[in-house]
Structure 1
């Protein structure tokens, strides 16, 4: 280390000043220039329509899982969800919001997310969940816990079989 030249305090001050002031000014100019430029993206030709096809980003994942299948995707895990459902002592085949909430909060998802899941799962909007709606709610919880976004509206392929056509 004896072969290295000593540090020059004036040079260090210049670098510090550049980092503190000049870079910030430069970044402001870059942002202004980027904002003034028109958005450029490839459009048309072979790129038309690929966003919604099976090769689109996220296709068949999360809430889109099962979109091309004949069987209701939730049916895969329904026996597990049914076991939980029947421990909640359903009345006339349905559990109340309070009973469903006791189970749903175990996911540790925020209340606003659970509220959205409730709105999506209560397909007939009666304030209760039957076994299919309860299974759907649990499926949506699983989707969210896996890091996927919830849909704004329930996709057709997730509507429980007994609720299709309502």
Structure 2
């Protein structure tokens, strides 16, 4: 699956495959206290898309187009939204559409979904570890559980739609 966007006058295909996963892990993965990568870049990226975080769009464009600056990415997003508006959507709906399209593409990629499932498992382990600690950590554990449940729901609803 791919998502097409024009960056610096060049059409780029954002494909949710091993290449993008590898690059996402390099750029977006969280680090432990010692600075070691947690190899959770695909999960981080999915959460950014799910939360409609603007960084998701910029990150994706920069991962696909190595030489794209932040300004190039913002210009590409502006063009994409502009094209949707020209097709009849209002600006707010056009902006929402980008995230919906990206989420659908990510969920259509069996490779990315398998990595997102691993991310869910990691969140669940962290949540269980935090539950055994103090009050602040229990709040964090609750937040992690809600996030893991939300991600699982998205994957499950996508899988259910595929079988319909």
TM-score (norm 1): 0.26
Which is helix-richer, 1 or 2? 2
Q: Which has the larger radius of gyration?
A: 1
